[in-house]
């Protein structure tokens, strides 16, 4: 099991009132699974994703990654965890506008590997893999929305993460481009064995998951695990 969550609670204080964004949630995420998380706005989807990625600590409860309890780690250890194990894909693409496609990927590689030629080779491989070998020197403004998201996925895969977290990755795309991006994510999951956890509002996108989770008011109301 890649991730084990037990009795997880994340509490925020709003207007002198405690609100549980995540409310006593327990969940297992198998290695190599494709998990989709749905729910209304404010149901806790993004909060859960941030906790899974080590960007947010729970108020209480336990989360284990490969058997190691994450929420007890120091901040430096959490940063190392994110760098070594997690890739993030956002709705807004979050590409650096003054860098080319290959440079946007290389900057993620530079965190760990200082060999520029090695990084360039890896970046070229990733761009080829997402179907953009002919767009290496294009800037984000010269790419379509779907192409920008492909670059963002390639960047998220730069350091071979075990866990890919996607927050509404098709939210800014039309149905045709959405399907293309979802197929890329599915390929990442099936061919590379990367565990994918995706937050989405789209019923069509949710169908790509072999495990489908629905949240309401921070609680798990549906856990449709097709792997069982």
pLDDT score for 114: 64
Q: Helix or strand or coil: residue 73? A: coil
Domain boundaries, the chain: 3-225
Instruction: Encode burial over 169-189: b for 16+ CB neighbours within 10 A, e otherwise.
Output: bbbbbeeebbbbbbebbeebb
Instruction: Give the other-Cβ count within 10 Å of 167's Cβ.
Output: 20
Q: Residue 154 is encoded by which pair of tokens?
A: 């390639």
**pLDDT band, residue 115 (cuts 50/70/90):** confident
pLDDT score for 216: 93
**pLDDT band, residue 110 (cuts 50/70/90):** low
Q: Residue 21 is encoded by which pair of tokens?
A: 């964004």
Summarize pLDDT for 135-179 with one digit per residue, the tens. 999 999 999 999 999 999 999 998 889 999 999 999 888 889 899
**pLDDT band, residue 107 (cuts 50/70/90):** confident
Q: What is the mean pLDDT of the chain?
A: 89
What is 3-225's CATH number? 3.40.50.300
Examine the pLDDT at 104 and tell me if it is beyond 50.
Answer: yes
**pLDDT band, residue 228 (cuts 50/70/90):** very low
Examine the pLDDT at 51 and tell me if it is beyond 50.
Answer: yes
């Amino acid at each position: 099991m890649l991730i084990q969550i037990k009795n997880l609670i994340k509490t925020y204080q709003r207007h002198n009132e405690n609100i549980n964004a995540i409310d006593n949630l327990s969940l297992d995420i198998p290695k190599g699974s494709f998990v989709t998380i749905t729910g209304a706005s404010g149901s806790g989807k993004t909060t859960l994703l941030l906790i899974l990625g080590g960007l947010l600590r729970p108020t209480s409860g336990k989360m284990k990654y490969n058997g190691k309890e994450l929420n007890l780690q120091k901040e430096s250890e959490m940063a190392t965890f994110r760098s070594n194990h997690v890739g993030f894909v956002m709705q807004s693409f979050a590409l650096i506008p003054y860098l080319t496609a290959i440079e946007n990927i290389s900057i993620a590689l530079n965190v760990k590997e200082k060999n520029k030629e090695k990084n360039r080779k890896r970046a070229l491989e990733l761009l080829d893999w997402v179907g953009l070998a002919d767009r290496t020197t294009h800037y984000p403004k010269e790419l379509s929305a779907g192409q920008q998201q492909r670059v963002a996925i390639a960047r998220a895969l730069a350091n071979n993460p075990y866990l890919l977290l996607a927050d509404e990755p098709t939210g800014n795309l039309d149905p045709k481009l959405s399907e293309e991006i979802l197929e890329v994510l599915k390929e990442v999951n099936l061919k590379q064995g990367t565990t994918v956890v995706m937050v989405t509002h789209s019923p069509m996108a949710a169908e790509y998951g072999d495990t489908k989770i629905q949240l309401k008011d921070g609680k798990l109301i549906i856990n449709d695990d097709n792997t069982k």
